[in-house]
Chains A and B, each alone.
Chain A
Amino acid sequence: MDLNRLQQDSEYRWRIPMEGPMQVAGIIFGDREQVLQMDDKVYEQLKNVTLLPGLVGAVYAMPDAHWGYGFPIGGVAAFDADAGGVVSAGGVGFDISCGVRTLHTGLTVADLEPVKNELADALYRDIPVGVGSEGAISLDEAAMSAMLEKGARWAVDQGYGGAEDLERAEERGCIAGADPAAVSKHAKKRQRREMGTLGSGNHYLELQRVAEVFDAEIAAGFGLALDKVVVSIHCGSRGLGHQIGTDYLREMLIAAPDFGLRLPDRELASAPIHSELGQRYLGAMRAGMNCALANRQILTYLTREVFARLLPQAELEMLYDVSHNICKVETHVVDGASKELYVHRKGATRAFGPGNPDLDDELRSYGQPVLIGGSMGTGSYVLAGTLESEGQALSSACHGAGRSMSRRQARRQYSGRQVVDDLAGRGIVIRSPSQRGVAEEAPLAYKDVHRVVDIADRAGLAHKVARLDPIVCIKG
């Protein structure tokens, strides 16, 4: 990215200054080298977002930002409904409520090591993963509607977990305002065989060890200690969410002229929040979020079943579950005034600070766990939202490493076998149905997650708590 087009606010904060029809400024987080290495498309896409009506504050790109569709991946934007603000299906994307759930196991690396390969095989066998995999749960129309209305609560009611799981999930496992009737028959049909499936691409289930603790007090509060083993699940709303995105992107794009919206990029398809279409999309998108929450709850159940057979002493308790592709109604203080805003995070993680009422009693004094997935070779992070997060980017942080290499480049450069063997040499077990898929997800195809997280911490987006290194990765 050409730094000459930016103003530097501080060491880790760069500004696309207001000009022409821009409604607000664009803010990019990163150090000089990171921003320099970002694709120019991030600049273009972020600037396009600044043209949408009803924006509040600024639009933001996280340190892992990269070229997306419509919004850059790592983009955050908030709209005021009463100021003509819009909700954008493109600003949420296809993978509605894609997110990360992390579970404690109560085990140490020493407990896991003797059965590591057996556990990897069992997880790979019992958790549907990759193209062509199907879940064992098939929902009829009534059950589908109940799931879309109640999310993880529905899954718990069906026996896929306990009420305590819900306390540690965003929205306590069920976002209000979901409207199953706003979800097309196509979307429901696409989900029919996909409940309890992991998906493919960058989705995974990993066993990880706590490899480094940066803040002992918060880590202890989160239940994390060196060499403890956790499970992280990265996936979203599966086919249902993908189809909701497809359906509403098209409808919003075609309806845009009727709303007087001049879209700078068709992928920014939007509708006024106060319009019937905007409300219908919000109802469908929230149903998509509930589907993602239910799906991660079922995957939790399947994981617990495997552990119960092989390591019955394990207790898989929730650390947290948070989405990074979603539009949420949140109250934020902007320019000294408290406002209810529709916050779009596309490849960005909510990072509420201490005291937020959305957090349960145990977490409230520490801030929200911010779960950052890395690549299968480099590790993941747990951060905590801080009070400073609010003022930086509407309580938002990065969501992962971000790709440094396209999938095509990655498969030209690496072979899946070579990646699996290299990682095995480092004690990391990979199970995946696709060698080409593994090559496309090679660790070096991603940016340096350590650096991304360091900058997020230094920029005040969230506070580093612990690093998690992979032990076993079930990859889609």
Chain B
Amino acid sequence: MTIRMRPAAWEHFEHDADIGLRAVAPSRERLFEAMAEALTAVIADPVLVRRSREIVIRCEAPDDALLLVDWLNALIYEMATHNMLFGVWHVRLDGHRLEARVAGEVVDRVRHRPVVEVKGATYTALSVTQDNVGDWHAECVVDV
């Protein structure tokens, strides 16, 4: 793993047919935001996404790992139904309840040069853990 030592960081990892998302962050909230950025990066460069429209997302799950899948699937759903990409995420967590404000814009095929749709977040290689120095780690494979 070659994650840079920053407050929150993400990378994609190898999966034969699909794409793995991996992140590390000092808190669960930043971790979920980093995973969301990794999700956008599967489709397009997050830096290219402007913040012209905001959406609120809420989800709740029995544990952190399922909450992560719900969060990523909620983003996938909003992107698909609004034809949008997101570039900013503000996540608040209360136990296993999530409320987020996400901002982005309608897909611009010329400027964003989107690569691939994400069909859904899977439960394969799924984990949300905290290490012994307090950092949070997550992994999830998304189907493309």
Binding site for B on A (CB under 8 A): 39, 41, 66-70, 73, 90, 93-95, 130-134, 186, 189-190, 192-193, 199-201, 239, 242-243, 245-246, 249-250, 253-254, 265-267, 269, 402-403, 406-409, 433-437, 440, 476
Closest Cβ of chain B to A48, distance in Å, is 11
Residue of B nearest to A73 (CB): B17
> In the complex, are the beta carbons of B73 and A246 less than 8 A apart?
yes
Question: CB within 8 A of B143: which of A69, A130, A186, A200?
Answer: A69
The interface stretch among B30-38, B47-55, B75-83, B93-101 is B75-83
Neighbouring B residues of A434 by C-beta, 8 Å: 113-116
> In the complex, are the beta carbons of B120 and A436 less than 8 A apart?
no
Closest Cβ of chain B to A45, distance in Å, is 9
Closest Cβ of chain A to B17, distance in Å, is 5
Residues of B61-82 whose CB lies within 8 A of A: 62, 66, 69-70, 73, 76-77, 80-81
> In the complex, are the beta carbons of A201 and B14 less than 8 A apart?
no
B58 at the interface (CB under 8 A from A): no
Neighbouring B residues of A433 by C-beta, 8 Å: 109, 113-114
Neighbouring B residues of A94 by C-beta, 8 Å: 119-120, 143
Residue of B nearest to A65 (CB): B16
**Contacts A39-B16, A242-B119, A250-B66; is A131 near B114 (CB within 8 Å)?**
yes
Q: Main SS of the interface on chain B? A: loop
User: Could you tell me the distance between the alpha carbons of A226 and B143 in the complex, rounded to whole angstroms?
Assistant: 37
B144 at the interface (CB under 8 A from A): yes
> In the complex, are the beta carbons of A266 and B123 less than 8 A apart?
yes
> In the complex, are the beta carbons of B83 and A190 less than 8 A apart?
no
Q: List 17 A-B contacts (CB under 8 A).
A: A67-B17, A69-B122, A131-B44, A132-B108, A132-B114, A192-B81, A201-B116, A201-B144, A239-B81, A242-B80, A242-B119, A246-B73, A406-B15, A407-B18, A409-B14, A433-B113, A440-B116
Closest Cβ of chain B to A133, distance in Å, is 8
User: Could you tell me the distance between the alpha carbons of A253 and B61 in the complex, rounded to whole angstroms?
Assistant: 12
> In the complex, are the beta carbons of B119 and A69 less than 8 A apart?
no
Neighbouring B residues of A408 by C-beta, 8 Å: 12-14, 19
> In the complex, are the beta carbons of B123 and A131 less than 8 A apart?
no
Residues of B5-45 whose CB lies within 8 A of A: 12-19, 43-44
> In the complex, are the beta carbons of B83 and A193 less than 8 A apart?
yes
User: Could you tell me the distance between the alpha carbons of A435 and B126 in the complex, rounded to whole angstroms?
Assistant: 30
> In the complex, are the beta carbons of B83 and A132 less than 8 A apart?
yes
> In the complex, are the beta carbons of A186 and B77 less than 8 A apart?
yes
> In the complex, are the beta carbons of A134 and B80 less than 8 A apart?
no
User: Could you tell me the distance between the alpha carbons of A201 and B124 in the complex, rounded to whole angstroms?
Assistant: 20
User: Could you tell me the distance between the alpha carbons of A234 and B115 in the complex, rounded to whole angstroms?
Assistant: 17
Residue of B nearest to A239 (CB): B80
Neighbouring A residues of B88 by C-beta, 8 Å: none
Question: CB within 8 A of A199: which of B81, B83, B117?
Answer: B117
Closest Cβ of chain B to A426, distance in Å, is 24
Question: CB within 8 A of B116: which of A200, A245, A402?
Answer: A200
Taking A190-B80, A406-B19 as known contacts, 10 extra A-B pairs with beta carbons closer than 8 A to each other, sorted by chain A number, are A90-B123, A131-B107, A193-B83, A200-B116, A246-B120, A246-B121, A265-B124, A433-B113, A433-B114, A437-B115
**Contacts A245-B120, A246-B73; is A406 near B115 (CB within 8 Å)?**
no
Residue of B nearest to A66 (CB): B16
Neighbouring A residues of B128 by C-beta, 8 Å: none
Rank and list the top 5 A-B pairs by shortest CB-CB distance, nearest first: A132-B107, A131-B114, A266-B123, A69-B124, A94-B119
Question: CB within 8 A of A440: which of B77, B115, B126?
Answer: B115
Question: CB within 8 A of B115: which of A66, A199, A200, A249?
Answer: A200
Question: CB within 8 A of B123: which of A67, A68, A267?
Answer: A267
Question: CB within 8 A of A249: which of B18, B44, B123?
Answer: B123
> In the complex, are the beta carbons of A67 and B80 less than 8 A apart?
no
Neighbouring B residues of A402 by C-beta, 8 Å: 16
> In the complex, are the beta carbons of A403 and B120 less than 8 A apart?
no
Closest Cβ of chain B to A262, distance in Å, is 15
B141 at the interface (CB under 8 A from A): yes
Neighbouring B residues of A409 by C-beta, 8 Å: 14
